[in-house]
């Protein structure tokens, strides 16, 4: 399933930018534009990591609060993963434009594969540099900055890493309530790492995940009861699927063809190939992994607009390598036994991973 970049989380961000008088690069979501005609003082987007449509339908019944208030299904970005999708909601740009393509990216400036968010070397806990590598080489203008510059409203980010830092989900909902009570017009983005963290560890259909989603839902429902003049949108960055992994070091012939270890994600894999193997690599890859992955050359990735539209980020071509393998079944590829192998993951091209919910609660 390819991402619909006219019906995605990027377009949600663009609706918000438009509402607050800020410039945006892409189409808006008509359903959100319609809701915003009521001219709310507060617009809140609450992103629950990993809460795709599949999870919503599996863990909750039709009459539960989230499902009852779901306006529609729409798309994440490609790859459907936290790094690219949350950067899109926080910038209004596609991954093709902002460059934050996935968990680990190869930076030629320091000749390292770096875990972009946490600034560590791939498959280690070692700091990649004494500065934040991704922020230095792939900076972007945030939605908060764009809204403030437009001058009509203020903007806040409530999370463990945001402008308004919290540690627990209760603190998050309390902080959203506190901000909504102030008189200024504002945008509030709230991010929480579950159910994603639990799904990685226990699988996406585990009963612990059900409990967690129900608990989050109840707390959001309670928070909404106490708000007024506020539009609350609940969404996700991606969905999830249970999977098994291939370990690349078990395939010595493929390993000899590589210039460096693989990067981006386990279900969206960038391969950097030695010159002499550029023609042999796709044949060898197909021999080993068959139809479980789509394999595209760099040129095909760009031509098919897989990562979205707009002005290509200067580092995009370097990040995607010579070939990109995209999971279309229940498999991932890790580099070695040192690499993390989650029970459930995302970043592939299945409906489970790409389809996310647009949930709206209007409090006049």
Number of domains in the chain: 2
pLDDT digits (tens, 9 = 90+) for 41-88: 999 999 999 999 999 999 999 999 999 999 999 999 999 999 999 999
| Radius of gyration of the chain measured on its C-alpha atoms | 20
Mean pLDDT confidence for 256-280: 98
Shared-domain flag, residues 159 and 24? yes
State the DSSP code for 122.
T
Shared-domain flag, residues 60 and 146? yes
Contacts of residue 155, Cβ cutoff 8 Å, sequence gap at least 6 = 20, 143, 144, 145, 147, 148, 186, 187, 188, 189
d(CA 235, CA 66): 10
Q: Give pLDDT, residue 286.
A: 97
pTM (2 d.p.) = 0.96
| Residue 271: inside a domain | yes
| Residue 79: inside a domain | yes
Mean pLDDT confidence for 298-326: 97
- The backbone torsions φ and ψ at residue 236, rounded to the nearest 5 degrees and listed phi first, read -140, 170
Q: Give pLDDT, residue 54.
A: 98
Looking at 93-159, which runs of residues are DSSP E strands? Answer: 104-107, 112-115, 120-121, 154-159
Contact 285, 236 (CB under 8 A): no
Shared-domain flag, residues 255 and 281? yes
d(CA 235, CA 232): 10
| Residue 110: inside a domain | no
Shared-domain flag, residues 163 and 15? yes
Copy the structure tokens of residue 128: 């990649």
pLDDT beyond 90 at 364: no
State the DSSP code for 250.
G
Shared-domain flag, residues 282 and 194? no
| Residue 248: inside a domain | yes
d(CA 90, CA 98): 10
| Residue 46: inside a domain | yes
- The backbone torsions φ and ψ at residue 171, rounded to the nearest 5 degrees and listed phi first, read -65, -35
Shared-domain flag, residues 88 and 159? yes
43 lies in which domain range?
9-100+140-241+350-363
User: Quick one: CA dihedral 193, 199, 200, 204, positive or negative?
Assistant: negative
Shared-domain flag, residues 223 and 182? yes
- Read off the CATH number of the domain in which 179 is found: 3.40.720.10
pLDDT beyond 90 at 272: yes
């Amino acid at each position: 399933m390819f991402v619909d970049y006219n019906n995605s989380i990027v377009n949600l961000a663009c609706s918000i930018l438009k509402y607050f008088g800020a410039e945006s690069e892409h189409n808006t979501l008509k359903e959100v534009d319609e809701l915003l005609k009521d001219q709310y003082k507060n617009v809140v987007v609450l992103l629950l990591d990993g809460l795709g449509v599949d999870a919503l339908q599996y863990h909750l019944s039709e009459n539960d609060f989230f499902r009852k208030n779901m306006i529609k299904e729409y798309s994440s970005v490609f790859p459907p993963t936290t790094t690219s999708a949350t950067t899109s909601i926080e910038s209004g740009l596609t991954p093709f434009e902002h460059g934050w393509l996935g968990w680990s990216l190869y930076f030629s400036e320091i000749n390292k594969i770096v875990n972009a968010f946490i600034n560590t070397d791939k498959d280690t806990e070692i700091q990649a540099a004494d500065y934040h590598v991704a922020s230095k080489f792939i900076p972007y203008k945030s939605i908060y900055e764009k809204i403030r510059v437009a001058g009509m409203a203020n903007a806040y980010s409530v999370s463990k890493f945001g402008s308004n830092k919290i540690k627990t989900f209760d603190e998050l909902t309390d902080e959203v309530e506190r901000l909504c009570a102030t008189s200024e017009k504002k945008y509030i983005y709230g991010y929480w790492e579950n159910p994603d963290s639990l799904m990685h560890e226990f699988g996406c259909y585990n009963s612990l995940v059900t409990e967690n989603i129900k608990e989050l839902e109840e707390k959001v429902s309670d928070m909404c009861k106490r708000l007024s003049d506020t539009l609350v949108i609940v969404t996700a960055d991606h969905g999830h699927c249970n999977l098994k992994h291939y370990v690349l070091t078990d395939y010595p012939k493929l390993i000899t063809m590589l210039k460096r270890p693989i990067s981006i994600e386990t279900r969206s894999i960038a391969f950097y190939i030695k010159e002499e193997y550029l023609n042999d690599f796709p044949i060898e890859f197909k021999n080993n992994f068959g139809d479980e992955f789509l394999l595209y050359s760099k040129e095909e990735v760009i031509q098919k607009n897989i990562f979205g539209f707009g002005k290509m980020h200067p580092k995009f071509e370097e990040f995607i390598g010579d070939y990109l393998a995209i999971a279309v079944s229940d498999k991932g590829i890790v580099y070695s036994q040192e690499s993390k192998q989650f029970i459930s993951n995302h970043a592939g091209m299945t409906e489970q991973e790409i389809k996310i919910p647009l949930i709206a609660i209007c409090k006049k």
